[in-house]
Structure 1
Amino acid sequence: MPITRAARVLVILAACAVAGFGAAAPAAADPPGHVRAAITTLADSSTKTVTVTCPLGTVVTGGGAHLTAPSAAVQGYIAIERLEPRDDGKGFTATMIEAQLTGIAWRMTVATLCATPPAGWDVVAVTGPIGGSVVTVDCGTKNVIGMGGRINNGGGDVVLDKVAPSTSLKSVTARGSVIPGRHPGEWSVTAFAVCANVTGQLIQWPAPAGPAATKSANVTCEAGQALYSAGGEVAPGSGSVYLDMAQASDVNTAVARGNKAFGAAPPPWGVMVYGICG
């Protein structure tokens, strides 16, 4: 089972007029300057894109998004399309789409994880070929501390269902899957890696394959550490299961969730959550 740790003291810093904005920091920040900030949107039935910014003096190390509770009525309709650390370091952008139209109001929460700029900090990105579902970006001589992925020109017909670091923490892989029966145009996938000259610790946990409509997994950094970033994937990537949560739920815990698309009958599937701690 995932390793749990003592709860940290959280300090709410601000409120956002859009819906709710807050930032929480551990009592003894590790990594240095570590902070989580989040925004929850208003409820409506439309595609949503939100950027959460980092406090001055910090840079983005990772982030995430999730379909916000109460969400049961729209699970199986909503999917992640974008999880992107900004290359200027100022924050994290996420997009969620109605992969199937619902007419039901829903909300999403986007979070960014930030820290005092670590040595060698950089964001690198690679965009794959048109129609290519999997793309990998590497950090060269540096190490991965953060991850992201984005569907380009998917038109609501392609979902982002994998953002995962390599076990060596040298690269990040992102995957897009076409929803069965859809015919998107010239779409592509971009993978993002936040790189630095620091050594993080990869933690991961699976929810095993099976036929359930909803699966989730979570993992927590060990004592004395906090999250640089979070990621997740559903497997296999068929376009019939939507990743609707790949999120740092707090400064220590990463959570991923998948939901079977409404009306779909995918093969047995599972979900994996990833966290990078420092």
Structure 2
Amino acid sequence: MRAQNQTRRFGAPASVLVLGLVVAATVLAPASPASAAVPGLVRVSATSVADSADFHSTTATCPAGKVLTGTGYELNGATGEAILDDLRPNGGPATAPTAVTVGAYEAEAYAGVWSVTAYAICANPVPGLVRVSAVSVTDSADFHSATATCPVGKVLTGTGYELNGVTGEGAVDDFRPNGGVATAPTAVTVGAYESDATALNWSATAYAICANPLAGLVRTSTAGASNSLDFRSVVAGCPVGKVLTGAGYELNGVTGEGVVDDFRPNGSAATAPTTVDSGAYEEDAFAGNWSDTAYAICATA
């Protein structure tokens, strides 16, 4: 009985002591790091044959088990003599994209050897990922524009476009995701001008890659100098602690006389991208001042 009494006597204080230790452990335990919004993010690429053909195309496909969050491209050796016609992610309104096809035409006959590179920004499966599109009117007007908007409740991770029926006679001037440094993007606007007068009926398609809300998703931008140089390049980067899921660009003041030759996310097959480089040439000699803006879509790393 004496042993039992001692047990009872010390039972309550011991419980208080244990509870105190639990509370202390709860207070002192370090906070766990925030989860990555897009785990497994990498950038892969594919390059077409290099020759002097009028049209070049290639497709960059995500590694098995990954999905496409964003796109990019690079024209190699053309220096303003070729125009991108297609930057087309696959997928659909109910299907996650996994690849992007890039196609480019010579703006005018060009004897040089050139090629095109497609860049795919890929991640482990992202909840709710789909690709939606919007098409402008089809006619022979000099300018066409379309805005692809994500379904309600989704955000924009990446972008794409396609020019239909113009085969090298149209140039995308605006490829602009909305949003801001404190606001997640939800739509992309594509605007294209005729690079040379054409009587063809043509249109522009905007593609939006959309997902359920992602942690820390924002859109940043960097504007280059405005002058009359033939070439300019500008880099938009993600804030510290964020990674690049997609991108966009905008040419200002050149209205069809400038072509974006490089739309290149950094990163690699083993490294997440964090910046995008937008480089543009004059397609024909242009005396006016113009500039290039690069847009980066970024989420928590």
Q: By how many angstroms is 1:259 displaced?
A: 0.4
Residue 90 (structure 2) aligned to one of 74, 86, 90 = 86
Separation in 1 of the partners of 2:255 and 2:239?
Answer: 33
TM-score w.r.t. the length of structure 1 is 0.82
2:123 paired with 1:115: yes
Larger Rg: 2
Residue 147 (structure 2) aligned to one of 136, 139, 160 = 136
Separation in 2 of the partners of 1:189 and 1:141?
Answer: 26
2:58 paired with 1:50: yes
Give the equivalent residue in structure 2 for 1:9.
none
Native 8 Å contact 1:241 1:266 kept in 2: no
Separation in 1 of the partners of 2:98 and 2:132?
Answer: 15
TM-score w.r.t. the length of structure 2 is 0.76
Separation in 1 of the partners of 2:154 and 2:225?
Answer: 32
Q: By how many angstroms is 1:108 displaced?
A: 2.0
Separation in 2 of the partners of 1:41 and 1:83?
Answer: 14
Q: Which shifted more, 202-211 or 30-39?
A: 30-39
Give the equivalent residue in structure 2 for 1:178.
194
2:199 paired with 1:161: no
Separation in 1 of the partners of 2:241 and 2:45?
Answer: 23
User: Going by fraction, where is strand more abundant, 1 or 2?
Assistant: 1
Stretches of 4+ aligned residues off by more than 4 angstroms: none
Q: By how many angstroms is 1:145 displaced?
A: 0.8
Separation in 1 of the partners of 2:218 and 2:68?
Answer: 17
2:150 paired with 1:150: no
2:258 paired with 1:258: no
Residue 75 (structure 1) aligned to one of 70, 76, 79 = 79
Q: By how many angstroms is 1:130 displaced?
A: 0.9
Q: Percent identity?
A: 27
Q: Secondary structure at the match of 1:33?
A: coil
Q: By how many angstroms is 1:29 displaced?
A: 7.5
Residue 261 (structure 2) aligned to one of 235, 244, 250 = 244
Q: By how many angstroms is 1:268 displaced?
A: 1.3
Residue deviations 1:37-76 (CA, integer Å, cap 9, x gap): 10122321221111111112111111110123xx3xx312
Residue deviations 1:129-160 (CA, integer Å, cap 9, x gap): 01351111111321111111110111221122
Residue 40 (structure 1) aligned to one of 21, 35, 47 = 47
Give the equivalent residue in structure 2 for 1:190.
205
Equivalent residues, number: 245
Q: Which shifted more, 109-118 or 243-252?
A: 243-252
Separation in 2 of the partners of 1:219 and 1:248?
Answer: 10
Native 8 Å contact 2:102 2:116 kept in 1: no
Separation in 1 of the partners of 2:186 and 2:37?
Answer: 22
Identify unmatched segments of 5+ residues in structure 2.
1-34, 268-272
Separation in 2 of the partners of 1:50 and 1:57?
Answer: 21
Separation in 2 of the partners of 1:228 and 1:253?
Answer: 10
Amino acid at match of 2:159: M
Identify unmatched segments of 5+ residues in structure 1.
1-27
Separation in 2 of the partners of 1:255 and 1:217?
Answer: 6
Q: Secondary structure at the match of 1:209?
A: coil
Q: Secondary structure at the match of 1:44?
A: coil
Give the equivalent residue in structure 1 for 2:291.
270
Q: Secondary structure at the match of 2:242?
A: coil
Native 8 Å contact 2:221 2:236 kept in 1: yes
User: Going by fraction, where is helix more abundant, 1 or 2?
Assistant: 2
Separation in 2 of the partners of 1:52 and 1:90?
Answer: 9
Give the equivalent residue in structure 1 for 2:8.
none
